[in-house]
């Protein structure tokens, strides 16, 4: 059964798209896969960014850009 936090992507080769695109969610492997691909970051980089700046996509993106 599919998680309620994501819905299928239009292209089956991509991870499902999270319902909340304003916040980086790391609760499920599918969310991590989506954000890793979208932001070109590893799980550990995403976890560090979220720990440092919160779940806002813009804050996480800025953090990752400053720390690459």
The whole-angstrom separation of Cα 30 and Cα 16 is 7
Report field, pTM of the whole predicted structure over 0.85: no
Q: Is residue 44 part of a domain?
A: yes
Counting every residue written for the chain, the total comes to 68
Q: Is residue 57 part of a domain?
A: yes
Q: How many domains does the chain have?
A: 1
Q: How confident is the model at residue 13 (pLDDT cuts 50, 70, 90)?
A: confident
Q: Is residue 61 part of a domain?
A: yes
What's the pLDDT tens digit per position in 34-44?
A: 999 999 999 99
Q: Is residue 6 part of a domain?
A: no
Q: Is residue 55 part of a domain?
A: yes
Q: Is residue 52 part of a domain?
A: yes
What's the pLDDT tens digit per position in 30-67?
A: 999 999 999 999 999 999 999 999 999 999 999 999 99
Q: Is residue 38 part of a domain?
A: yes
Range of the domain at 60: 22-66
Q: Is residue 8 part of a domain?
A: no
The percent of the chain in helix, strand and coil, each rounded to the nearest 5, is: 45, 10, 45
Q: Residue 29: pLDDT above 70?
A: yes
């Amino acid at each position: 059964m599919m998680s309620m936090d994501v819905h299928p992507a239009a292209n089956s080769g991509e991870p499902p798209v999270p319902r909340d695109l304003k916040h980086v969610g790391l609760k499920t492997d599918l969310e991590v896969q989506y954000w890793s691909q979208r932001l070109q970051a590893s799980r550990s980089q995403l976890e560090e960014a979220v720990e440092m700046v919160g779940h806002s996509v813009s804050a996480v993106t800025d953090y990752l850009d400053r720390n690459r």
